[in-house]
Every structure is written in C-alpha cells, then in structure tokens.
Amino acid sequence: MTFQPAQRLLALPPYLFVEIDRRKRAALAAGKDVIDFGVGDPDLPTHAFIIERLKTAVDDPAHHRYPLGVGAPRLRRTLAAFFQRRYGVRLDPETEVIALIGSKEGLAHLALAVVNPGRAVLLPEPGYPVYRSGTIFAGGKPHALPLHEQRGWLPDLSAVPVEVAREAALLFLNYPNNPTGAVATRAFFEEAVAFCRRHDIVLAQDAAYNEMYFDDADRPASILEIPGAREVAIELHSASKTFNMTGWRLGFAVGNCDVLAALARLKSNLDSGVFTAIQEAGCAAYDGFDRPELARARATYRERAIALADGLRQFGFRVAPPRATFYVWAGVPWGYDSMSLATRLLDEAAIVCAPGIGFGRLGEGYVRFAMTVPLERVRMALARMRELKW
C-alpha cells in the first residue's frame, strides 16, 4: 500500500518546533543538563486534596462504568457554584455547563460543531495552534487577527474587513494570553461581545489561564460577566494549569446553551466523556479554588517569572513585567530571530525555549519561556546565559 494521510492533515501548518525538539533530544542523549522552558506543563504536583478525592472515588464501582458525556450532574452543579462565587455569574448546570476531556479537546472540536466549510474563523496570531488546526479540520478558513505589543496584545476588531466579518462563523480569544502573557481589559471584552453580536459570530474565549494571575488587580474576569455575552459566547476552562492537572484531562465549557448543545452533540459521537472518578476529583478541585495551595502556586510562578524577566532584560531582551499565565514572552536582542536565538541557547547553554515563530508568523522576534522549572534552575539558566556574549 502506498499510504498518504488525509488531505486535512496535509493542510495543517508545519510543526516548527521539530528542529528544537531534535536538538533537545540530542543534548539529552549527550548527557547535557538541559533546562527546559519549552513546554507549559506544571512541574508542581497536583494538590494533595484533589488526589485524596480521586483515591476514594476510584474505589467506587459506580464510577467504573461509562461516564455521562456532558459531565456528571454533581460536577456541573459544582462548576456552576464555582462560577457564581468566582465571577458572580449564575449558570444553569443543566444547559450552560458541559465537561470536556481537557479544554484542548473542546477547542479542537468546536469548529466541527459550529463552522460550515468555507466560512471564516477569526483567530489570534501569535496564538495557541489548536484554534487553527480545529478550523482546518472543519474546512473553515483561518483569518488571523494580529496581536501587537503596542495594543497590549489585544486584536483590533475594527480592522477586520466587513466582508470577512460577514462570512465569519467563529472568533477565538485567549486571555490571559498564551504566548504573550497579556491580560484583557473589560472594555475589550465588551467590544468583542458587541462585534460578535453585530455579525452573528460565535465567540469562544479560552480561559485556560484565568486562575494564573500575579496581582489581585489583574484577577481575570469571565467574558460571561459582560451583559449580552451569553447570546454569542462560550468560555472554555481547564483544570490543567489551575490545579497542576495536565495529565488528568479535565476541562469544561460554559455559556451559550445552543452552542454548548451543538458541541455536546458532536462529542457524543466522538468520545464518551471524562472518567467519573476524575470528575469527582474535579469537584474537590473547584470547591477548593480559593484554598491557600493555589495562592502559593501563583506566588511560585510569579517569583520565577520576575527573576527570569529581570535577568533577560540585562542581556538585551525586551520583557514586560509578568502579570499572568506562566509564560515570559521576550523580544529577542538585536541581531537574532526567534529560531536563531532558541537554537543558540540550546546549543551553547542547554536551555530550551519556544521560538515565537512556532505560534504564527507574527510571533517572529520573540521567544517564550514557560515558568515550569524551579527558581534555582531559573537562576542557573541565567548564570549560563551570562557566560554567553550578547
């Protein structure tokens, strides 16, 4: 058989971290002590109170059967209660909350549920690559919304051509933002909701980093706090970064009931939901979102991010004060592009960072460091960088 993967896979953009991944494996194989700021995967363990709940939940035979795809009633009630306490937004657990097998799953499947082939999908660039791949799988046309430093990494929706807005079916937003670390203003959320209502566009706000902020003044809002948002918007949340649960696969979506029903219907044909014991542990997690463990994790990431940002500035990187997410997004020193800088750090200092170009063309000129390494290792990385000539 001469095998060719399906066209839709060939239509995906090239995976630009291949070369960095290859060099990283080579450095590890050569026995180098690699300091890896590449992937946004918490190094801290899942909080103990969540693990304890899983341990008891896993013993219950009722949890061994097929889960309810949209999420167990208990989880959906817990999530609605969390939303009320955290954002002051009242949700109907029956129609306005669904569980996801991690938010990536929901984001990737959303376009299949709401976008007809040929329709435009507006997505941020630089941005999380899943918005684009999900769009391509659905036969939609990705339309990049440029994010620029001068605008605080918020897209200029008034610059979207009317013909594009008219044929657009879906708009992805992501604040606090990966990879830039930017936080949205309330005024921007209002503008985005108004824009989507005017043009009948589904708005999907990826809130994976909503609990990862460093200062109470930056505590992110839910887009559902904006009056009228529920007519067009859903918001996707994730236990992954909030509770150090990336391996568990638990997320959820809230908001417009028709969009959620469409996503749930699609998913009922693709998957059978989240292991019920993990949903139980998710109840413990979201019941405990205001516990001191979370505040401690925020303080840890903040300390690392500030140390790295301060250090990088001394070598000529441009770095804004870290406010949210666990990423430091750094403008590269003069004379480099994102790939040449990432390659040099890896080859000469065994430090891995993500070249900005991997987040889209407009990520060029930046590199992203994930704060998922301990503070001593951050300091060690800075010491190694000091040895290099800049």
Ligand X SMILES: *Cc1c(COP(=O)(O)O)cnc(C)c1O
Q: Which residues bind ligand X (CB under 6 A)?
A: 40, 102-104, 128, 174, 178, 206, 208, 238, 240-241, 246, 251
Question: Which CB atom, from 251 or from 356, has the smaller least distance to ligand X?
Answer: 251
How buried is residue 141: exposed, middle or buried, by Cβ count under 10 Å (0-12/13-18/19+)?
Answer: middle
DSSP secondary structure of 37-80: -SS---SSPPPHHHHHHHHHHHT-GGGGSPPPTT--HHHHHHHH
Angle formed at CA 199 by CA 110 and CA 201, multiple of 5 degrees:
5
**Smallest distance, ligand X to C-beta of residue 327, A:** 8
Q: How far apart are CA 140 and CA 134, in angstroms?
A: 9
- Peptide bond before residue 161 is cis, with ω within 30 degrees of 0: no
How buried is residue 25: exposed, middle or buried, by Cβ count under 10 Å (0-12/13-18/19+)?
Answer: exposed
Angle formed at CA 80 by CA 77 and CA 85, multiple of 5 degrees:
125
Question: Which CB atom, from 252 or from 336, has the smaller least distance to ligand X?
Answer: 252
Question: Which CB atom, from 174 or from 276, has the smaller least distance to ligand X?
Answer: 174
Q: How far apart are CA 34 and CA 55, in angstroms?
A: 34
Looking up tokens 């995906």, which residue turns up?
12
**Smallest distance, ligand X to C-beta of residue 107, A:** 6
Question: Which CB atom, from 140 or from 179, has the smaller least distance to ligand X?
Answer: 179
**Smallest distance, ligand X to C-beta of residue 174, A:** 5
Let me know: does 212 contact 242? Beta carbons within 8 Å: yes
Beta-carbon contacts of residue 51 (< 8 Å; ≥ 6 apart): 45, 281
Q: What share of the chain is helix, strand, coil (3-state, %, to 5)?
A: 45, 15, 40
Question: Which CB atom, from 78 or from 205, has the smaller least distance to ligand X?
Answer: 205
Question: Which CB atom, from 96 or from 105, has the smaller least distance to ligand X?
Answer: 105
Question: Which CB atom, from 115 or from 250, has the smaller least distance to ligand X?
Answer: 250
**Smallest distance, ligand X to C-beta of residue 237, A:** 8
**Smallest distance, ligand X to C-beta of residue 320, A:** 18
Question: Which CB atom, from 76 or from 104, has the smaller least distance to ligand X?
Answer: 104
- For the beta sheet containing 233-238, the strands, ordered from the edge strand earlier in sequence to the opposite edge, are 97-100, 251-255, 233-238, 202-206, 168-174, 120-125, 141-146
* Of 106, 218, 249, 126, residue with least CA distance to 180: 126
**Smallest distance, ligand X to C-beta of residue 133, A:** 13
**Smallest distance, ligand X to C-beta of residue 238, A:** 3
Question: Which CB atom, from 91 or from 236, has the smaller least distance to ligand X?
Answer: 236
Beta pairing partners, 236: 206, 253
**Smallest distance, ligand X to C-beta of residue 179, A:** 8
* Of 130, 121, 208, 119, residue with least CA distance to 171: 121
Beta-carbon contacts of residue 366 (< 8 Å; ≥ 6 apart): 126, 179, 329, 330, 331, 332, 338, 356
**Smallest distance, ligand X to C-beta of residue 100, A:** 7
Question: Which CB atom, from 93 or from 181, has the smaller least distance to ligand X?
Answer: 181
**Smallest distance, ligand X to C-beta of residue 366, A:** 16
CA 287 to chain centre: 22
Element (H, E) at 24: helix 18-29
